[in-house]
């Protein structure tokens, strides 16, 4: 599955990481609780359409995407959440909703919320609803080269 490919990629790049296995969990809050990772360090991947083109937004699990702000910051006239049908085929080997935030591996631009960029470590779904990868944020940033923007706000 995708976990093996991710690990091979990280190993080739000489990145230190940890695999965290947990019981099946589907929401960011469930994943954080099952894996004992704080909601601030847990990065969730949201797939969006920016002017009709797929893109990733990566933000702390306890935050929400401000679509209007993201549009202003990226210059997109239209920003909307992508439907599963829009992106499912783009992530072979991934369970829907468990896509890792490596847009560079899926030919997608990645926008990271500035709140997440402040963390030393991040953890994220590794293609399934039972496994996370935890690594240093600076290593993730070096590999993915995301745009870091202020487009997220704390969920209420």
* Per-residue pLDDT tens digits for 97-155: 899 999 999 999 999 999 999 899 999 999 999 999 999 999 999 999 999 999 999 88
Residue 3 burial class via C-beta count within 10 angstroms: exposed 0-12, middle 13-18, buried 19 and up: buried
pLDDT higher than threshold 90 for residue 30: no
Mean pLDDT score, 62-87: 96
pLDDT higher than threshold 80 for residue 39: no
What domains are defined for the chain? 2-154 (3.90.960.10)
Low-confidence winner among 29-43, 46-60, 94-108, 130-144 (lowest mean pLDDT): 29-43
**Which residues lie across from 113 on neighbouring strands?**
149
| Residue 41 pLDDT grade (very low, low, confident, very high; cuts 50, 70, 90) | confident
Torsion-angle region of residue 78: left (phi > 0), alpha (psi -120 to 50) or beta?
beta
């Amino acid at each position: 599955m995708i976990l093996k490919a991710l690990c091979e990629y990280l190993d080739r790049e000489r990145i230190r990481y940890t695999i965290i296995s947990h019981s099946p969990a589907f929401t960011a809050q469930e994943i954080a609780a099952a894996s004992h990772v704080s909601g601030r360090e847990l990065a969730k991947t949201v797939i969006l359409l920016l002017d009709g083109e797929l893109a990733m937004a990566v933000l702390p699990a306890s935050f929400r995407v401000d679509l209007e702000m993201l549009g202003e910051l990226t210059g997109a006239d239209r920003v909307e959440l992508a439907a599963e049908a829009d992106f499912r085929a783009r992530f072979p080997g991934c369970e829907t909703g468990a896509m890792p935030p490596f847009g560079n591996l899926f030919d997608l631009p990645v926008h990271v919320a500035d709140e997440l960029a402040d963390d030393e470590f991040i953890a994220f779904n590794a293609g399934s609803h039972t496994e996370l990868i935890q690594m240093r944020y600076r290593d993730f940033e070096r590999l993915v080269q995301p745009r870091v923007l202020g487009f997220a706000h704390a969920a209420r």
